[in-house]
Structure 1
Amino acid sequence: MNQLVTKKPEHETIYLRVKEMILFGEVVPGQPVTIHGLAESIGTGVTPAREAIRRLTAEGALVTRENRRIEVPEMTAHRLQQIELVRLTVEPALAQMAEKHCKKSNVAELERLDAQVDAAIQIGDVRGYLEANYRFHFYLYGLADAQILRRIAETLWLRIGPSLRVVCGRYGTANLVDHHRAATQALRNGDAVATQEAIAEDIRQGMEFVRQTAVNEHASSDPIDTN
């Protein structure tokens, strides 16, 4: 296939790079983000950096404060409560739907991704853990063939990712546990309900870590409307 046809436009590539920086905790809550600083750090022009910031602000991953400062929002109890409510509605449903389409090869891939999670935990690789954990969940959710729900889940992960980085910084990866193995075993058994329950418990556990570690009771939760 012609490489020119398959190559992503620069602005899309930059957007995905900045998105991953937020998802995997390279930008921490409360940290300001500037167009020029971002462009310099990832080696791109001002225009694609500005477009990436605009899109991620629209998705709630970044906020604009009253002084026009752009930053990753700090987590508040109220915001966390809303994120948890929607995650526990959407993601277990995606997991249950995924079971209907899951083949043995898909389970094997999930087990491979979970092994990457475990390896990152073992060596204390925080970014590697966050990325592998994300890849595990969204490979599973992709099997559901439910793009609207998957898109909602993606937006929620953008909002919680930086706080998960704070959790890892506080507890260390050695103290992290998950319910991935229960989920993959349930998929091997063809048990949609058990798959759903395993993912729901995985979410509850992660959100409780965030509640104990990363919630800032004094942070402003109301960005201004820049539209």
Structure 2
Amino acid sequence: MHSPFDAAGFFPITHNLINFCPTRQDTLCFHARLACARDACSAQAKEDEDALPLLGKKAKGRLMEYVKRPVHQSVYEDIRDQILFGDMAPGQAVTIQGLADTLKAGMTPVREAIRRLTSDGALNMTENRRVSVPVITHNCIEELEFMRKTLEPELARRAVSKITDAAKEVLRAHDNALNSAISQGDIKGYLTHNYHFHATLYQAAEAPIMTATVDRLWLRFGPSLRVVCGRHGTMNLPDKHADLLAALDCNDATGVHDAMAEDVHQGMIQIREALHATTELN
């Protein structure tokens, strides 16, 4: 089936949705578009919103059903993003009431989100039921580095033969936004687009077990990346994405694998250095 997304991986809102059945790749591209639109406050997002009344009732219903998330899922993803993108610091205490107030959400979906994120390893719960963001230890770094070096280059290699042109354009959009964030010293922008670049590529590999495992790994070291950014600044952060994209354009699976392996290696070195520095300061 021909994808309803345009050449840049974006969803033209006036597209006839009557027979639209989104694939996993379509879903990925659509949510990447939403992320880019939110970050850039793009005029296209406003045009898309204004165009909604132009859709037929049936088509509009399909679209809204497609993008609408249940409250509990929305709360889970909002808290998850706070952890991933450094809004929560390692060791920071987390309370149900505090998150409910921040997110303007009910206690029940927040409690469920905390339960899920604790199961994911993104939050720690002590015996006295206190919840906090995990602090990475030296032993954790060794395990994370081994798992990342094993899984992420392999996912990148597998994606080469399966990724669509639309997903490639999404990768380039995230890389361009990431480069802009680096030049502007925008730590949140760097963390956001760096994650979405990797997630987009890994999703294209169509290896759901490995992809889900990697996503949980990122939840564990996400808060520490914010510490790295604060220590090194955005200009000194690892970025082998240009090499990876060049290899991807040539269908060079080995080149893509090696670029991702080096990207992971450099990133873990900086996390290790930041942990050493923090330990020395304490």
Equivalent residue in structure 1 for 2:216, among 155, 162, 184: 155
- How far apart in 2 are the matches of 1:101 and 1:37? 43
Check whether the contact 1:63–1:73 (CA below 8 A) recurs between aligned residues.
Answer: yes
Equivalent residue in structure 2 for 1:201, among 236, 240, 262: 262
Which moves more between the two structures, 197-206 or 109-118? Answer: 109-118
Aligned-CA RMSD value: 1.6
Count of paired positions: 218
- How far apart in 1 are the matches of 2:196 and 2:81? 11
1:214 corresponds in structure 2 to 275
Please state if 1:53 is matched with 2:114.
yes
- How far apart in 2 are the matches of 1:5 and 1:118? 34
Check whether the contact 1:186–1:192 (CA below 8 A) recurs between aligned residues.
Answer: yes
Check whether the contact 1:102–1:187 (CA below 8 A) recurs between aligned residues.
Answer: no
Please state if 1:138 is matched with 2:199.
yes
- How far apart in 2 are the matches of 1:83 and 1:135? 19
1:26 corresponds in structure 2 to 87
Instruction: Tell me which structure has the larger Cα radius of gyration.
Output: 2
- How far apart in 2 are the matches of 1:67 and 1:172? 37
2:237 corresponds in structure 1 to 176
Kindly state the Cα deviation for residue 175 of structure 1 after the two structures are TM-superposed: 1.6
1:224 corresponds in structure 2 to none
Q: Which has the higher contact order (CA 8 A, sep 6+)?
A: 1
Return the letter of the residue paired with 2:129. R
Q: Which runs of 4+ in 1 moved over 4 A?
A: 215-218
Kindly state the Cα deviation for residue 129 of structure 1 after the two structures are TM-superposed: 0.5
Check whether the contact 1:29–1:72 (CA below 8 A) recurs between aligned residues.
Answer: yes
Q: How high is the TM-score relative to the length of structure 2?
A: 0.74
Equivalent residue in structure 1 for 2:180, among 114, 119, 126: 119
Equivalent residue in structure 1 for 2:169, among 70, 84, 108: 108
**Percentage of matched positions with identical amino acids:** 44
Kindly state the Cα deviation for residue 198 of structure 1 after the two structures are TM-superposed: 0.4
**Unpaired stretches in structure 2, ≥5 consecutive residues:** 1-58
Q: How high is the TM-score relative to the length of structure 1?
A: 0.91
